[in-house]
Amino acid sequence: MPRYFFDTCDGERQVRDETGIDLAGPQDIPREAAILLQGLGLAEMLKGRSRIFIVRVRRDDGAFVYRGTAKLDIE
């Protein structure tokens, strides 16, 4: 199984995924990215902060293969 790494950014800090996860293939990346972005958004929503979240996915050879963005507005 290929290993993919999900690096994140919340506008203040960037986190490089050093562990990664094994997925059956690239078709599973959007689902995993959405789950990750949802979790990041929930944590910030509970803090009452607006944010733009970015997840960049790379293969184990370092090539970026996916980018997802989520925007959270708190008023």
Residue 12: per-residue pLDDT: 85
pLDDT digits (tens, 9 = 90+) for 13-57: 899 999 999 999 999 999 999 999 998 888 777 777 788 999 999
pLDDT-derived band at 4, boundaries 50, 70, 90: very high
pTM: 0.88
Hey, which residues does 64 pair with through a beta bridge? 58
Task: Give Dmax (Cα) for the chain.
Answer: 43
What is the C-alpha separation between 40 and 51, in angstroms, rounded?
10
What is the C-alpha separation between 48 and 19, in angstroms, rounded?
29
Are residues 65 and 29 in contact, defined by beta-carbon separation less than 8 angstroms? yes
Residue 58: per-residue pLDDT: 97
Q: Please name the amino acid found at residue 42.
A: L
